[in-house]
Amino acid sequence: MAHRSISLPGNVVAITGAARGIGRATAQACAGAGMQVAIGDVDLASAQQTASELGAGTIAVALDVCDRASVARFLDETEARLGPLDVLVNNAGIMPLKPLVDESDSTARRQVDINVHGVLHGMKEALPRMLARNSGQIVNIASMAGRIGFSGGATYSGTKHFVVGVSEAARAELRGSAVQITCVMPVVVRTELSSGLPPGVIIKHIEPDDVAAAILAALRSPRFEVYVPRMVTPLVKLGAALPQPIREGVGRFLRIDRSLADPDIAIRRAYELRASQAEDALDGSEEP
């Protein structure tokens, strides 16, 4: 699909898990660009507060991405109040960290429910609306963990590999239409989701605003792969071309493979409990 420049003012964007973190930063960037923004979050009170703080006609809608009917209601209300959907940002996600052998089945299921089915529900509900008008863009927030498996976050990495794969497949299915798919892959972002992780040595942690700016650029000029920061793009491409033993050796030497493996458990305790068990686990914070 050819790149084209898109004027954003007036366009309608719905963002999942947008009460805080990357979702909030993206909502703020979109509102600042003149877009009409709908924030969806399971924590409605926080979503309403965020919408009020952002102003510019931003609306807040209750949303549980694990429930497809809830996703449909979110998009229905967005369109009823703001107009036809132009952009869906599938952002909601959780990242409990623990060695795979120590991870409970319930924690693994919750990651799959939110990180996998949440994205599927958004795509399945948004795409028919967009295809009917032959216009629109879906932005799926994946992660560098969608290209590299990180020790300490095996299930999380698996869910983000899924996001990359389903994005690639959907893009192929949409070829010939004007509907775009974008897959955003940040490194570690400073949000509650990454609390307690050691600072990056070679690749520094980034801010939610950095991801939001990259998303906004991809809305103005649609493209499929968006790495944040951009400087990691050649590293990912080079790594993909290397034989597995060499790629793993480089990762160990640079300690990239330990990005998720040594968190401060005390600092992460509150987030881990909420992400694994609580009903308000969709915190809108991503990545890596």
Helices (H) then strands (E): counts for the chain: 10, 7
What letters, b where the CB count within 10 A reaches 16 and e where it falls short, cover 99-116? eeeebeeebbebbbbbbb
- Pairing status of strand 87-90 against strand 59-62: unpaired
Look at residue 159 and give its three-state secondary structure. helix
Is the CB of residue 94 less than 8 Å from the CB of residue 117? no
Catalytic residue among 156, 162, 227, 271: 156
Is the CB of residue 94 less than 8 Å from the CB of residue 115? yes
End-to-end CA distance of the chain: 27
**156 a catalytic residue:** yes
What positions carry a catalytic annotation? Answer: 156
